[in-house]
A and B are shown apart, each in its own frame.
Chain A
Amino acid sequence: MPPNASPGLWTLAWRRLKRDRVGMISLAVVVAYLCMVFLAFGGWIAKDWTREVGVNYAPPVFLPDDQDPTAVALVKPVAQPDQVDLYGLQDPLARQLAQIRAHDPVGAQQPIVARRLTLPLGGDKWGHDVLTKVIKGSETSILVGLVAAILATALGTLMGALAGYFGRWVDDSFNWLYGVFTAIPYLLLIFAIAAVLQQKGVSTIILILGLTGWTGVFRLVRAEYLKHKSREYVLAAGAMGASHARRMFIHILPNTSHVILVQLSQNVVGFIKSEVILSFLGFGVPVDVVSWGSMLNEAQNELILGKWWQLAAAGTAMAILVTAFSLLTDALRDALDPKLKY
C-alpha cells in the first residue's frame, strides 16, 4: 500500500474493534465456539455422543462424592425385563416373546460393558456423556442459526436492494410483503409453517427461520439504497453505462455492507433463540439430532429428579455464546459506524 493511501472502512473498523476490549474478548469467544462447531461438524470431536458411556444419570465428576472418578459399573446392555405383576391375567404375548427369545438370545448373551459412574459434566437418562452432547448440541444450534441468518440476510438484502433502488411499484409490492410478514407475530408464523410442513429436520428449521426472518434486514437495506441511489458516485456509474445490476451490487452494496453485517450478527442470535424454542416444543430438530432446545426439553423432566447437570450445561453454553454474540454485535456496530472518523 502506498504510504499516503488512506485506510479503508474495514481497516478502520478493525482498528477500532481492536481497541474495544469487550469486543475483542467476545470475538475470541465467538471464534472459539465456531472452531468447536467446525470440529464437531467435521466429525473430529463429539462424534460418538450417542454412545452410552456412563450409568444412567451419572453425576458430574466435580460433585463431592466418595467415589473414585474412574470407577465403572458393570452393566448388562439389555437386561431381561423384571417380573411384572399381571394381576392374574395371562400375558397375551407370552408365547410370541418366548419364541423370539429362543430364536434370538442376543439380549441375554451380549457382553457385559463397563459404564462409568461419573462423567465430566454428568450423564443423561441413557448415560450419554453430557459434555459431548452439549458440543454436538452447540453444533446443531449454531449451524441452524448461522445458515438461517445467512439465508434471511441474503433474502432481505436482495429484496431491500430491489425495493430501494427501483422504487415505485417494486417498492410498493415489497413493502406490502413486508407489512404482511410483520403483521403476524413472528413465533405464530413459525408455528403455522411448522404445522403445515409436517416434516422435521434441520434443513426444515433453517428454511422456516430464513424465509420468515428477512424483514429487519429488508427495512434497513431498503433505507440505505434509497439514500445511496441518488448519490453522485452512483449517478456517475450510471453515466459511464453501468447496468442496474452493476450499480446495485458492485457500487452500492459495499457501501451498505456494514449495515448488513450487523444485521447478520443480530439475526444469528435471534435465530439460535428461536431454534431452541422450536426444538424444545418438539417442532424443531428430529429425535436423532441433539440441539440446545432438545437438551432443555429433556432437562425439564430430569430437574424434578434432581439431575440438574444437563440443564446447567445446555443453559450455560447457550448463555455464554449469546452474551458474546450480542456484545460482539454492539462492538461491530460501534466499530463500523461511518460517522466515527478516528
Chain B
Amino acid sequence: MNLGAFLIRRLWQMVPTMLGVVLLVFFLFNWVGGDPAYILAGKMANPADIANIRHQLGIDRPLWEQLLIFVRQIVTGDFGNSWATQEPVSAIFRSRLGPSLMLLIPMMLLETATAVAVALAVAAWRGSTLDRALMAASTVMMSISLLVYIIVGQYVFAYLLGWFPVKGWSDDFWRNLTTYAVLPVLLGLMVSIAPSVRLYRTFVLDEIGQDYVRTARAKGLSEVRVLLVHVLRNAAIPIVTNVLMGLPALLTGAFLLERFFAIPGIGREIILAVERSDFPIIKAATVYVAMATMLANLLGDLLYHWLDPRVHLE
C-alpha cells in the first residue's frame, strides 16, 4: 500500500475517535459541570446577569445547538476569550506553545540519546556489577515522586548553589535555551530516564541474543560496530514507538516543570485555568492536545515503517 493511501485511511480512522473526544469534552463541560454562568457571574450575581451570561455563552439554547457551537469553535480555532483574562484563547495558545516546545524537544532528544547510550552500555556489560548497580539504582529512582526531584533540585541547584536561576523566562530565545530551560530540562531528564533505561535495556537484550549478532561477531566486526550498527538499528524500532508513546508522560513532567519554574508554557496555563475555572482554555487544550497525540502516533507508525521496511503499512 502506498504512503498517500495509508495516510488518508489513517486520518479517516481518526475521525470517530476525534468525534468521541469532542463529545466527551462537551459532555463533561456542558452536562457534568453544571451551569458555568454561576462561576462567571461571581458571588454577588443577580438573575438578570446570569441570564445575560447564559445568553452570551449560548447555554440557553438546546444541547445540539451548543454542540454545534463547540464543533464550530474547534474547526475555526476560535474559542472566544479566556474567562479569567479576556485574552483570546487562540492568542494564549500561540504565545505559550514556544516555551513548551523549548522544554519538550530538548527533553525528548536528550532523554532518548542518554537512555539509549546507557541501555547499550549496561546491555554490553550485562550481569556485571555495573549492570546490577544501575538497574537497582533505576528502580529506586523510579519510586521517588517527581515532585520530590523538582522541589529538591530547584532548592539545591538554583537556590543553594546558585548555578541556575530559580525561576523565570525571558523574551530572548538563546537566553531561554541556555539559562532558563537548562535546570528544568535536566530535572525532567532525571525523572524520565530510569524507566526508559530499564525498558530499552530489555529491547537491546532481546536483539543481542539473535543469530545475526553472532554472525556479525563471527565476521570479526568490532563489538562497538556490532552494538551501534547492527543491534541498535533493530532495537531502534521498539524504542521509537516507545518514545512517541511516552510523549503524554513527558507532557506531565513538563506541566509540573513549567509551573515550578514559572515558564509561560501551555502546561502552566492549563493548571492556572483549572485553578480559575477558565473553561474555554481547558476545553481547547484537551481537544488540541488529543489531536496532537493522535498525530504523534501516526508519525510513530510512519517512522516504524521507515526504520523497518519489513513492516507493511496497513
The chain A residues found within 8 Å of chain B, CB to CB, are 176-177, 179-181, 183-189, 191-198, 273, 276-277, 280-283, 292-293, 296, 299-300, 303-304, 311, 315, 318-320, 322-323, 326-327
Contacts and interface: CB of A to CB of B under 8 A. Distances in A.
A184 B255 contact: no
A185 B266 CA distance: 14
A285 to B, nearest CB: 15
Given A179-B20, A191-B271, A184 B147 contact: no
* A contact patch SS: helix
A299 B256 CA distance: 16
Interface of B: 16-18, 20-21, 23-25, 28-29, 32-34, 39, 139-140, 142-148, 151-152, 155, 159, 247-248, 251-252, 255-256, 259, 270-271, 273-275, 277, 279, 282-283, 285-286, 289-290, 293-294
A176 B252 contact: no
B273 A195 contact: yes
A95 to B, nearest CB: 27
B157 to A, nearest CB: 13
A303 B140 contact: no
B252 A194 contact: no
Going nearest first, the 9 A-B pairs with the smallest beta carbon separation are A180-B20, A185-B248, A196-B33, A322-B143, A323-B143, A195-B274, A315-B148, A179-B17, A183-B290
B21 A183 contact: yes
Contacts of B152: 303, 311
A283 B148 contact: no
A311 B20 CA distance: 41
A323 B139 CA distance: 7
Contacts of A326: 139, 142-143
Given A277-B256, A299-B151, A327-B139, A186 B145 contact: no
Given A176-B16, A183-B17, A191 B282 contact: yes
Nearest to A324: B143
A335 B251 CA distance: 34
Contacts of A189: 286
B282 A195 contact: yes
A95 B290 CA distance: 58
Nearest to B16: A176
Contacts of A315: 144-145, 148
A283 B152 CA distance: 22
Nearest to A315: B148
A48 B39 CA distance: 36
A326 B29 CA distance: 36
A274 B33 CA distance: 22
A187 B255 contact: yes
Given A179-B17, A184-B290, A326-B139, 12 more contacts: A176-B17, A179-B20, A180-B23, A183-B294, A184-B293, A187-B252, A188-B285, A198-B33, A304-B155, A311-B148, A319-B143, A322-B144
A197 B279 CA distance: 12
Contacts of A180: 17, 20-21, 23-24
Contact of A192 (B28, B247, B251): B28
Nearest to A191: B274
A299 B294 CA distance: 37
Given A196-B32, A323-B140, A176 B145 contact: no
A183 B21 CA distance: 8
B263 to A, nearest CB: 16
Given A187-B251, A191-B271, A296 B143 contact: no
B159 A304 contact: yes
B182 to A, nearest CB: 21
A315 B148 CA distance: 7
Nearest to A330: B139
Contacts of B293: 183-185
B38 to A, nearest CB: 10
B289 A188 contact: yes
A246 to B, nearest CB: 32
Given A187-B255, A195-B282, A319 B144 contact: yes
Contacts of B247: 185
Contacts of A282: 275
Contacts of B286: 184, 188-189, 192
Contacts of B151: 296, 299-300, 303, 311
Given A191-B270, A327-B139, A184 B279 contact: no
A296 B285 contact: no
Contacts of B252: 185-187, 277
A296 B32 CA distance: 30
Q: Which residue among A183, A192, A194, A292 has the maximum number of chain B CB atoms within 10 Å of its CB? A: A183
B155 A303 contact: yes
Contacts of B140: 319, 323
Contacts of B33: 196-198
Contacts of B17: 176, 179-180, 183
Given A180-B21, A195-B279, A311-B151, A296 B145 contact: yes
6 contacts: A184-B290, A184-B293, A196-B32, A319-B143, A322-B145, A323-B139
A192 B25 contact: yes
A176 B23 CA distance: 12
Contacts of A192: 25, 28-29, 274, 282-283, 286
Nearest to A273: B145
A197 B290 CA distance: 21
Contacts of A277: 146-147, 252, 256
A296 B147 contact: yes
